[in-house]
């Protein structure tokens, strides 16, 4: 990647004409895609990890140490997300899905906004903030309740936990193999709104085919930027609809 990428719109036109010739696309998203829906990212200036210690809140040790603190933090995020709506970036990805015979969206986000934007071929690789798991039986179910008592308990009396992936926990093997299989065969991979700080992004990109077309959508350069064919700088709520419009003109 040269140091100062050209303006996004000429890049978007070139990316769209490359994408128009592809049959299979994988999209990987992070917290940045939900920023324009009013949901804080993790590592930005006002990000979650600027104010909290991830090990205290998003780890089995932190939960064992203080389940009430962890539940109050997740409950605050659930309440914030409850009022959030998918933004034009989420909706553009849901439309992109229709343009490719083979498509998979792999999101690190747990907010559920891609599903709400009608993305269908979707893996929530870090789980969902709307699902809970019984610490005794391991059973999981969706629960959108606004809790008043903390920590949250199961009917059986055991603690419930958010069914999200915490630091130090392993990815669900079935999700990883599905994601890797999709990236192995994809002709194009878009990486959107992620700092790439967590293994899954670099791990999946490393699985991409040598000749796969790769593009990153972000507000700024990241560690991923040097290895992609296109770096589209700007808010994804604007740049993704622009990409979709360019693509629709080329292959309606």
**Contact positions toward ligand APR, by CB under 6 A?**
30-32, 35-36, 41-44, 47, 54, 108, 126, 193-195, 197-198, 217-220, 222, 235-237
Closer to ligand APR by Cβ: residue 22 or 43: 43
**Least distance from ligand APR to the Cβ atom of residue 202, Å:** 11
How far apart (Å, rounded) are the C-alpha atoms in residues 218 and 122? 21
**Least distance from ligand APR to the Cβ atom of residue 206, Å:** 17
**Least distance from ligand APR to the Cβ atom of residue 171, Å:** 11
Angle at 95 between CA 125 and CA 197, to 5 degrees: 30
How far apart (Å, rounded) are the C-alpha atoms in residues 111 and 103? 21
Tokens encoding 200: 């899954």
Residues sharing a CB contact under 8 Å with residue 223, sequence separation 6 or more, in sequence order = 195, 196, 197, 202
Closer to ligand APR by Cβ: residue 111 or 187: 111
Return the residue nearest ligand APR (CB atom). Answer: 32
**Least distance from ligand APR to the Cβ atom of residue 199, Å:** 10
- Among 87, 11, 43, 47, smallest CA distance to 243 is for 11
Annotation says 99 is catalytic = no
In terms of phi and psi (left: phi > 0; alpha: psi -120 to 50; beta: otherwise), the region of 184 is alpha
Longest dimension (CA), the chain: 59
Closer to ligand APR by Cβ: residue 67 or 193: 193
Closer to ligand APR by Cβ: residue 67 or 237: 237
Residue of 90, 99, 114, 126 marked active site:
126
**Least distance from ligand APR to the Cβ atom of residue 152, Å:** 20
Closer to ligand APR by Cβ: residue 55 or 248: 55
Catalytic residues, which ones? 126
């Amino acid at each position: 990647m040269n140091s100062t990428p050209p303006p996004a719109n000429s890049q978007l036109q070139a990316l769209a004409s490359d994408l128009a010739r592809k049959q299979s696309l994988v999209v990987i998203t992070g917290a940045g895609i939900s920023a324009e829906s009013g949901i804080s990212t993790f590592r930005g200036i006002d990000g979650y990890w600027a104010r909290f210690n991830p090990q205290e809140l998003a780890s089995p040790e932190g939960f064992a140490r203080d389940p009430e603190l962890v539940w109050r933090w997740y409950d605050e995020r659930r309440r914030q997300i409850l009022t959030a709506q998918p933004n034009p970036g989420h909706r553009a990805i849901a439309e992109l899905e229709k343009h490719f015979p083979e498509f998979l969206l792999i999101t690190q986000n747990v907010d559920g906004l891609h599903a709400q934007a009608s993305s269908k071929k979707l893996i929530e690789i870090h789980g969902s903030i709307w699902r809970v798991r019984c610490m005794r039986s391991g059973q999981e179910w969706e629960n959108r309740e606004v809790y008043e008592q903390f920590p949250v308990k199961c009917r059986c009396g055991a603690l419930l936990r958010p069914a999200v992936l915490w630091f130090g926990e392993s990815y669900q093997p079935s999700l990883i193999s599905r994601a890797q299989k999709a990236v192995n065969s994809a002709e194009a991979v878009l990486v959107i709104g992620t700092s790439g700080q967590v293994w899954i992004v670099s791990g999946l990109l490393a699985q991409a085919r040598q000749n796969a077309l790769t593009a990153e959508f972000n507000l700024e350069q990241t560690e991923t930027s040097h290895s992609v064919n296109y770096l589209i700088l700007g808010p994804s709520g604007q740049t993704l609809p622009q990409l979709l419009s360019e693509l629709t003109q080329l292959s309606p």
